[in-house]
């Protein structure tokens, strides 16, 4: 097992050296490191939504969700200044609690994420910070309740106009049965139609697996993208709740292939930092040919020493993430799909992907 470097030893010089070695902007490496380590500050929050502008790219704000009480992190907050060692690397302007709420907007109001099934009460994945969050997300089963949620969300929309929505993602790990999940989605489509919302519905799931379910979604819910919650390819019994672990790695490619053949969009979620690189490469390669969207890759965040113990043994977590980023770029760049910078709060990509600029200069 490699000897781990203490996280507090990470310096700006080391970040720059690794960024150069793996051909990524220093700013991307900084944001990945920030997601790995969190921030040490006086604010006693396990998780918070933080708006950061980096010193070298101040025109582009990034929303990250990190612990603010990570006392061993090399990143420190002094007033509004984000420090790495002695260097001011950015400014933090806004801090909100990361509560599980019923819904929120992204992509400037063109995308919404709904938590309609009490995600905060879902437990079982060893890496999940749910139990650390305050909860304000409801369990909505009736169409009227879903409609009430949209009514409440109109007030938060930048232009008070939900017809702008292009993507509605249902984020919940809490449907244990396929039938319940599918009928919930059919109900959601009906509610959205009542609001003149034609957005594609995306669903994060590991319980929707049968051809019959795919056919029903294609008929009554499409446009629809199935986002398989793969999360990791090894130690699945140890790391995942039973309903997720039940989907073995060997089943995943054909599951996505069948969903795609049924006319659905396909993608998957994956946490970078739990599998060795060889398994990551094998797994992503096997799934890549069956996805229509760029998958959701998240940097692994450990919120306590037990979670830190789940991290794949590595000398330097930042270097591991940069190696993983390069591997994934090699696999996915030819597909033409690219990460959307608004889609994921803990991504491996910020300003560039495989040398291509992702945000306007
Ligand atoms: S399925 Fe797992 S990761 Fe998702 S909310 Fe439930 S416990 Fe957390």
The residue nearest atom 1 of ligand 1, judged by CA position, is: 173
d(CA 253, CA 230): 11
Expressed in angstroms, the distance from the first to the final Cα of the chain is: 41
Span from the CA of 360 to the centroid of ligand 1 (angstroms): 34
Q: What is the DSSP letter of 196?
A: T
Give Cα separations from 147 to 46, 114, 243, 250, 332 (angstroms). Answer: 32, 12, 28, 39, 38
C-alpha 171/C-alpha 168 separation (Å) is 9
Q: How much is the mean pLDDT over the chain?
A: 91
For the record, the structure tokens of 301 come out as: 């965040």
| Contact 123 CB / ligand 1 (< 6 Å) | yes
User: Ligand 1, residues 173, 205, 274: which to mutate, most atoms within 8 A of Cβ?
Assistant: 173
pLDDT at residue 139, rounded to an integer: 59
- DSSP at 40: B
For the stretch 179-225, pLDDT in tens is 999 999 999 999 999 999 999 999 999 999 999 999 999 999 999 99
CA distance 108 to 304: 33
**221-265 tens-digit pLDDT:** 999 999 999 999 999 999 999 989 999 999 999 999 999 999 999
- pLDDT bucket at 59, cuts 50 / 70 / 90: very high
Kindly state if the Cβ of 126 falls inside 6 Å of ligand 1.
no
What CA–CA distances, in Å, run from 186 to 26, 190, 203, 352? 45, 6, 12, 37
Tell me how far apart the alpha carbons of residues 32 and 350 are, in angstroms, rounded to a whole number: 9
The confidence band for 161, taking pLDDT boundaries of 50, 70 and 90, is very high
> What local confidence, expressed as pLDDT, does residue 290 receive?
98
Residue with tokens 């993608």: 267
In the reported structure, the alpha carbon of residue 269 is separated from the centroid of ligand 1 by a whole-number distance in angstroms of 12
Q: What is the pLDDT of residues 308-361, one digit of tens each?
A: 999 999 989 999 999 999 999 999 999 999 999 888 889 999 999 999 999 977
Taking only the tens place, the pLDDT of each residue in 85-98 is 999 999 998 888 76
Tell me, what's the pLDDT at 1? 47
Residue in 113, 119, 121, 203 to alter for ligand 1 test, most ligand atoms within 8 A of Cβ = 119
């Amino acid at each position: 097992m490699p000897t781990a470097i203490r996280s507090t030893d990470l310096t700006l010089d080391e970040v720059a050296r690794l960024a150069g070695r793996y051909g990524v902007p220093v700013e991307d490496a900084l944001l990945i490191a920030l997601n790995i380590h969190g921030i040490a500050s006086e604010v006693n929050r396990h998780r918070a939504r933080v708006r950061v502008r980096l010193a070298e790219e101040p025109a582009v704000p990034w929303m990250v969700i990190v612990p603010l009480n990570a006392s061993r992190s090399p990143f420190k907050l002094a007033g509004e200044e984000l420090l790495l060692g002695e260097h001011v690397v950015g400014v933090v302007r806004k801090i909100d609690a990361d509560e599980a709420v019923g819904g929120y907007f992204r992509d400037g109001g063109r995308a919404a994420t709904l938590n309609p099934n009490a995600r905060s009460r879902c437990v079982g994945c060893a890496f999940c910070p749910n139990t650390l969050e305050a909860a304000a997300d409801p369990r909505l089963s009736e169409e009227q309740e879903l409609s009430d949620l949209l009514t409440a969300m109109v007030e938060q929309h930048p232009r008070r106009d939900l017809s702008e929505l292009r993507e509605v993602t249902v984020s919940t790990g809490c449907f244990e049965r396929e039938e319940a999940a599918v009928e919930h989605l059919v109900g959601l489509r009906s509610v959205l139609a009542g609001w003149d919302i034609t957005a594609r519905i995306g669903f994060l799931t590991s319980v929707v697996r049968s051809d019959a379910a795919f056919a029903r979604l294609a008929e009554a819910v499409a446009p629809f993208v199935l986002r398989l919650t793969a999360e990791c390819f090894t130690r699945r019994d140890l790391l995942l709740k039973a309903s997720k672990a039940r989907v073995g790695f060997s089943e995943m490619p054909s599951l996505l292939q069948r969903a795609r053949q049924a006319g659905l969009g396909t993608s998957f979620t994956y946490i970078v930092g739990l599998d060795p690189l060889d398994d990551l490469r094998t797994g992503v390669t096997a799934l890549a040919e069956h996805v229509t969207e760029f998958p959701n890759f998240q940097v692994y965040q450990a919120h306590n020493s037990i979670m830190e113990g789940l991290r794949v043994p590595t000398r330097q977590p930042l270097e591991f993430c940069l190696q993983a980023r390069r591997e994934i770029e090699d696999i996915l760049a030819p597909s033409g799909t690219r990460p959307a910078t608004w889609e994921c709060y803990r991504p491996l990509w910020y300003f560039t992907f495989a040398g291509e600029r992702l945000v306007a200069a």
